[in-house]
Amino acid sequence: MRQIDVVTIFPEMFEPYLGSSIIGKARERGLVAVNVHNLRDHTEDKHRTTDDTPYGGGPGMVMKIEPIARAFESIKNDGLPTRSILVTPQGRRFDQGMAEEFSKDERRLLILCGRYEGVDERVVEQYIDDEVSVGDYVLTGGELPALVIIDASVRLLPGVLGDEGSLEDESFSWGILDYPQYTRPPQWGGKGVPEVLTSGNHAGIDRYRRKEALRRTMARRPDLLDKARLDSNDMRLIEEIKEEE
């Protein structure tokens, strides 16, 4: 994934986020290109209409086929292999595994942001490879989900993060949550930091961190443990944690 195209009726929502910080730098350095397209530029009527009433009645409006079809055809006109996704609460739930999958996919990622009650189903049949949800809640539009997917996927591209090691350690990279972090000062409001972290004993620090990561995962997200990549040391640490309870 070296190029991302987004189709939205709110293009102005993207640049403040995608022009800042790590993603902004990645774009400046040419590690990824992001093009945001205004769906209204692909309408043909005076009012630049992108929605219409639903067949069968009911509340709300539905995004019309024709502007989306024209936007997709014009973007795909460059011949680049493309993976098209629609963000929708009805899609496969986005997670770290999917972010990795997108970051490794050689194809351009084309993201369609829904609004109103969603898009005409024929758009999905004709143009969409994957429907992706960012969680079991309903947002007003697909722009935040698109930003979530772009952020989580772009940061995994080689060279985007300064310290590649940080990818190894963080939440979900081993299928479990991350360990707790501390920085200076060593004492604050009567609270110190775990002694082992200032001991200089690297094996002890690794063991402490792994154990605390497991402890957190057991307490907060036990569902993750079934699928996590655990070895015999982890199993021993899990036994220790259970005995401590």
Q: Work out which of 52, 65, 82, 141 binds ligand SAM, going by CB under 6 A.
A: 141
- Tell me if 95 sits within 8 A of 173, measured CB to CB: no
Minimum CB separation of residue 60 from ligand SAM in Å reads 7
203 contacts ligand SAM (rule: CB under 6 A): no
134 contacts ligand SAM (rule: CB under 6 A): yes
Minimum CB separation of residue 66 from ligand SAM in Å reads 17
The residues in 84-103 that bind ligand SAM, with binding defined as CB under 6 A, are 87-90
- Tell me if 34 sits within 8 A of 150, measured CB to CB: yes
Q: Which residue type occupies 70?
A: R
Q: Work out which of 118, 127, 152, 214 binds ligand SAM, going by CB under 6 A.
A: 118
Burial bucket for residue 179 (CB in 10 Å: 0-12, 13-18, 19+) = buried
**Spatial CA neighbour of 221 closest among 115, 95, 101, 55:** 95
75 contacts ligand SAM (rule: CB under 6 A): no
114 contacts ligand SAM (rule: CB under 6 A): yes
**Spatial CA neighbour of 6 closest among 158, 148, 103:** 148
Tell me which stretch binds ligand SAM (CB under 6 A): 1-9, 13-21, 114-122, 194-202: 114-122
117 contacts ligand SAM (rule: CB under 6 A): yes
- Angstrom distance (rounded) from CA 31 to CA 128: 25
Select the residue whose beta carbon is closest to ligand SAM and give its number. 114
Task: Report CA-CA distances (Å) from 232 to 236, 238, 242.
Answer: 6, 10, 15
Q: Work out which of 133, 151, 197, 212 binds ligand SAM, going by CB under 6 A.
A: 133
3-class secondary-structure state, position 4: strand
181 contacts ligand SAM (rule: CB under 6 A): no
Q: Work out which of 42, 115, 209, 211 binds ligand SAM, going by CB under 6 A.
A: 115
Residues pairing with 110 in the sheet: 5, 84
**Interface residues toward ligand SAM, by CB under 6 A:** 87-90, 113-115, 117-118, 133-135, 137-142, 145
